[in-house]
Amino acid sequence: MLIRLGYDIIFNAPRAVPVVALLNVHPSRSADLREPDEVNIEPATDVSYFYDSFGNRSCRFLAPAGQVRLSNLTLIHDSGLPDPVSPQAREVPVHNLPTDVLRYLLNSRYCEVDKLSNIAAGLFGHVSPGWNRVQAVCSWVHDNVTFGYQYANPTKTALDVLNDRCGVCRDFQHLAVTMCRALNIPGRYVTGYLGI
């Protein structure tokens, strides 16, 4: 199946401002792209690309004062098959996790692990560890949060989503990732898009 994806974002900058943007398809899916996946910036400005510590393709540029438009439209192939199911997947105790995975247990700007730890333990502490617990988190978020573009907010955190019970795609992921981290299950959010 082919999925058309993209974005069209407009900012009004009161003065020149440095920008770091994560707007590209994750490199693990680059072989599936059928068209270029490049950030278009208006007015044109110099852009440099780099890979962040999580492996995301990122770009940085100096946005000039005034209106700045970021856009992209590309095409990606996807099998359309559901994600693999692995009920035998187990949780690895924190003290046995590889060092490079520990960062996926930490608080971040959008994932307030410390504030959701007791809530996550209350909701999911009784669920058998491993695949079942992660699936329970994902199912709970799916069943208890309402999707709507009108709920988009660039400063919304996982705690906000939990309290408001509404959000857009990234909000669902932030809440699920935060709940998993709060249960000592490493979790991360990979840049993603919805088809348009």
* 125-171 tens-digit pLDDT: 999 999 999 999 999 999 999 999 999 998 999 999 999 999 998 89
Name the residue with tokens 């299950």. 185
Residues of the chain with CATH 3.10.620.30: 94-182
Residue 190 pLDDT class (50, 70, 90 cuts) = low
pLDDT of residue 195: 33
For residue 175, the model assigns a pLDDT of: 95
Query: Which residue, chain included where needed, has tokens 């998993």?
Result: 180
Least confident range of 51-55, 119-123, 179-183: 51-55
Each residue's pLDDT tens digit, 133-145 = 999 999 999 999 9
Phi, psi (deg, nearest 5) at residue 113: -55, -45
* Opening angle at CA 153, ends 148 and 159, nearest 5: 90
CATH number of 94-182: 3.10.620.30
Phi–psi pair at 79, nearest 5 degrees: -65, -25
Q: 90-109 burial, b for 16+ CB within 10 Å, e for fewer? A: ebeeeeebeeeeeebbeebe
User: For the segment 93-123, what is each residue's pLDDT rounded down to a tens digit?
Assistant: 999 999 988 988 998 888 999 999 999 999 9
Distance (Å, whole) CA 120 – CA 113: 9
Beta bridge partners of 63: 17
Query: Ramachandran region of residue 68, left (φ > 0), alpha (ψ -120 to 50) or beta?
Result: beta
- For the whole model, what pTM was predicted? 0.75
